[in-house]
Amino acid sequence: MAFQNPPTQLQTEPGWVHIFSLALDLPEDRLRALRELLDDEERSRANRFYAAQDRRRFIAAHGQMRQILGRYCCQPPNSLRFDKNAYGKPFLRGIPELRFNLSHSLDRGLLAVSGERELGVDVEACRSLIDQENIARRFFAPGEVKELFSLPPEQQKEAFFACWTRKEAYVKARGKGLSIPLDQFEVSLRPGEKARLIKPAENWSLYSINVGPGFAAALAVEGSIDGLRLWKAPG
């Protein structure tokens, strides 16, 4: 399913999650306009990036997030105020019922939005990792490690990043950060296999998101849903 242009009016739908694809390498004039939407805390975070490209991509991701959430709330993007829970997960001040989660990697970003369910999204560039095996053995559950290294070598990178993004999305959805050890729950990872939470048997759903070659992405959402709307970020 490809990302489509969204409707002019954005509103949440019971049983559906909206996923927006964000382009992060933007022209300078658009970037300047997006920077004006950020609050002081966001600008401070942007300025901490050493590389100018990383700084620009942070501004692009968070500025577009504000534009999209502003349309759901019918408020100016620069008027939105964010708070965080005890583990750092953001929510909209005064509008806690609008659930959202942002992730970005290199020039790709994803924003997930729901009006009723906790959710988390993660996107990662599938780069080659010299220490992929050590990372898997350190952070993955024993069943995931066994499954990963039972695969042919040419499938292991794809499976590694499928596993990683699904685990990150689940942790983000739970809103408790790394207080949830990554090796204490298990997700599916085999190429072609449906994304799902294997252990523990909790009421969460996982979805793989196709964002193009060289990237892996996943969504975790509370309970079962009717489906996903995949939309391009409005220009």
Q: What is the mean pLDDT of residues 15-20?
A: 97
Q: CB under 8 Å to 208, separation ≥6 — which residues?
A: 162, 166, 195, 216, 217, 218
Q: What is the mean pLDDT of residues 50-65?
A: 97
Please provide the size of the chain in residues: 235
Give the residue from 191, 195, 190 showing the smallest Cα distance to 205: 195
* Radius of gyration, CA atoms only, the chain: 18
pTM confidence score = 0.95
CA 142 to chain CA centroid, Å, is 25
Q: Is residue 212 very low, low, confident or very high in pLDDT (cuts 50, 70, 90)?
A: very high
Tell me the pLDDT tens digit for each residue of 80-135: 999 998 888 899 999 988 999 999 999 999 999 999 899 999 999 998 787 899 99
Quick: pLDDT tens for 123-176: 999 987 878 999 999 999 999 999 999 999 999 999 999 999 999 999 999 988
Distance, in Å, from the CA atom of 123 to the CA atom of 106, rounded to the nearest integer, reads 10
